[in-house]
A and B are shown apart, each in its own frame.
Chain A
Amino acid sequence: MHGPDISWYIALAVILFATGSLGVLLRRSPLIILLSVEIMLNGANLALIAFARRFGHEDGQVFAVAVMAIAASEVVVGLGLIVAMSRRNLELDVDKLRTLRG
């Protein structure tokens, strides 16, 4: 069963990664930034799995599974921070967080 080349997958992965980074750079809500980081990680995962297919050994897939777990950990901590901040009535906008200035 022949589908598209690996390069198609990689191009898709790159676009995903770029979309995610744009989200991180341009959005100000920490929640959406976290979601965008997830998209970046997914892009990397897609690349890993596509390359695993190319080389025919599963190292890339194992890596991708580990990345999922790590992503989940980051999300836990990130969401924990966001909830704590909202309880303390801090702005949920990274541009308006200006307590820390010189």
Chain B
Amino acid sequence: MAANVLVWCIWVIAAFACLASAVAVVSFRNPFFSALALIGNLASLAVLYLLLGGEFVAAAQVLVYGGAVMVMFLFVIAYLGDRTEEAPWAGGPSWQAVGTVLAAGAILVEVIVAIGLTTGGELTHEHHIARSFGSPEHIGRLFLTDHLLAFEVTSIVLLVAAVGGVVLGHHARANEADARA
């Protein structure tokens, strides 16, 4: 019983952190702080993943996202400096903005209602799971068996992105070469 309360507490804290940081990402004026807030978001999500039995995913979240991606973000933001600042919500709400907010709100309500309808008992009955559910070994095995192709394609996409990084990096350098010439 105590364990349940503990899990609930962790869930509430993590969920709250997750939401707060998401709102922060979207609303901060300075991308640097937004990026930092995203790190908080990722970390709290990792906690939620752990609660859901996704050990490997949580670890990957922290390493891949929190480590690699965010470092890249922070590096770029630091490199660009104050060019990236933007006054959010400046100039009053445009019709477009009002429309989008309304549309997003409508989608949100719709989806939550949809889930509420479904939840009429179904989602509460969780599947019984083994202790090793979501362990690195299991996920790794799946990647090499049922999802072999997905695994391979993921690596190809990463490679393509790397090529893209190289090409776009050239872009920047070529421009400087032009400027010198």
Contact = CB atoms under 8 A, between A and B. Distances in A.
Answer yes or no: A and B touching, Cβ < 8 Å: yes
Interface string A59-86: 1011111101111111111011111101
B181 interface: no
B89 to A, nearest CB: 7
Contacts of B54: 49, 52-53, 61, 64
A70 B158 CA distance: 7
B160 to A, nearest CB: 7
B123 A6 contact: yes
15 contacts: A1-B4, A3-B7, A7-B124, A14-B111, A15-B19, A15-B22, A16-B19, A20-B26, A46-B49, A56-B129, A58-B139, A61-B139, A74-B161, A76-B162, A88-B171
A14 B15 CA distance: 12
Contact of B168 (A3, A45, A77): A77
B132 to A, nearest CB: 10
A56 B83 contact: no
Contact of A75 (B45, B72, B168): B72
Contact of A62 (B22, B100, B111, B143): B143
Contacts of B139: 58, 61-62, 65
Contacts of B18: 12, 16
A65 B57 contact: yes
B180 interface: no
Nearest to B141: A58
A7 B38 CA distance: 24
Given A3-B7, A62-B142, A72-B68, A26 B100 contact: yes
B123 A54 contact: yes
Interface in B117-176: 118-119, 123-124, 126-129, 133-134, 138-139, 142-143, 146-147, 150-151, 154-155, 157-158, 160-162, 164-165, 167-169, 171-172, 175-176
